[in-house]
Amino acid sequence: LDAACFVLPDPVVGDRIFAAVVPAPSAAVSLEALRDFLTERSVAPYKFPDKLLVVPEIPRDGATVLRGAILQQI
């Protein structure tokens, strides 16, 4: 139903891409399925998320995703 990607610092690799998703009630969610979805849309592999977070909502302030509020949900 909704999704957002953001970068967080990682002490080992520098930065990591996270994807937060709000799935439809009957939808199965997996990182592999998300990567397949991105591949079908010709997204470059270096832009793929390293981690998938399933959250109840994507908090926003207008058009801005509130990354900290997403992390508070998990």
pLDDT tens digits along 21-35: 999 998 889 999 999
User: pTM of the predicted model, to two decimals?
Assistant: 0.81
Strands 60-61, 51-54: pairing is unpaired
Distance, CA of 53 to CA of 70 (rounded, Å): 9
The predicted structure's pLDDT at residue 43: 96
Nearest-5° Cα angle at 32, 51 to 34: 75
Q: E strands of 1-74, at which residues?
A: 2-10, 14-22, 51-54, 60-61, 64-65
Q: Using the predicted structure, report yes or no on whether residue 57 has a pLDDT greater than 80.
A: yes
Instruction: Name the percent of the chain lying above pLDDT 70.
Output: 100
- Side by side, the strands of the sheet bearing 14-22 are 2-10, 14-22, 51-54
